[in-house]
Amino acid sequence: MPVRPKTSLKPGRPKGYSSLDAGIAKAFGEAARGRRLEAGISQEALALETGIERSYISRLERGLSQPTLLALLKLAKGLGCESGELLAPVEKIFKRRR
């Protein structure tokens, strides 16, 4: 059986790298906030409904964080919409940029 050569690769992100894309995060935040306001739900009520911390919802809406897949699904359910509805405006921006 062949032996793999040892590499010097370290787990995780390279130093100085961030997975946060400010433009994408801001677009998602605007879509989520718009949907929440249309539904007439406060951040606190949405937090209680979804089990997501209110401060995390605030960071998402301000574009300071990007949601995990689970958070996206919980938010969509709490807002009474499909996850694709929250992602549609973000996807348009992403496609134009790449």
Predicted TM-score (pTM) of this structure? 0.80
Using an 8 Å Cβ cutoff, are 95 and 24 in contact? no
Pick the CATH number of 22-97 from 2.30.42.10, 1.10.1740.10, 1.10.260.40, 3.30.420.10: 1.10.260.40
Both structure tokens of 87: 């992602």
Domains of the chain by residue range = 22-97
CA gap 11, 27 in Å, rounded: 30
Which amino acid, one-letter code, is at 42?
S
Beta-carbon contacts of residue 73 (< 8 Å; ≥ 6 apart): 83
Give pLDDT tens digits for 15-64.
Answer: 777 888 899 999 999 999 999 999 999 999 999 999 999 999 999 999 99
CA gap 51, 79 in Å, rounded: 13
